[in-house]
Amino acid sequence: MEAVIAIAIGVLFGSGVWLILRPRTFQIITGLMLMSYAVNLFIFMMGRVWIDKAPLTLKPGIPSLGEYADPLSQALVLTAIVIGFATTALYLVIMIGARGLTGTDHVDGKEPEA
């Protein structure tokens, strides 16, 4: 289980890194999104990989906290998703602005000389 998730996160992040090193803005934003998916999964998994554990509830007679899933990493990942989504959307707006003003989608704002 751990190995599968680790490989999935690694593949996502690796593809993201490759994509942000490409020269087109569309590739960069796709890469950033893949990387942020990988990071979100990563934060989630840092609460340990568990199956079949109930969320933490406030009932009397909780036997042990180990019976429950870690709520903090879930809270963290929610915040990270929201912030990542907002900043990526902002980047998209600037990308469109750059495309309109420079007439190219190259990150340098001009086509490389062939």
Q: Which residues bind another protein (CB under 8 A)?
A: 20, 25, 28, 32, 35-36, 39, 42-43, 46-48, 72-73, 76, 79-80, 83-84, 86-88, 90-91, 94-95, 97-98, 101-102, 107-109
Euclidean distance between CA atoms 102 and 29, whole angstroms: 18
Residue nearer to another protein on the CB measure, 11 or 102: 102
Write down the least CB distance from residue 43 to another protein, Å. 4
> Taking the chain, what is the end-to-end CA distance rounded to the nearest angstrom?
48
Euclidean distance between CA atoms 50 and 56, whole angstroms: 14
Euclidean distance between CA atoms 6 and 28, whole angstroms: 23
Write down the least CB distance from residue 53 to another protein, Å. 17
Residue nearer to another protein on the CB measure, 55 or 100: 100
Query: Do 20 and 31 meet the contact criterion of CB atoms below 8 Å apart?
Result: yes
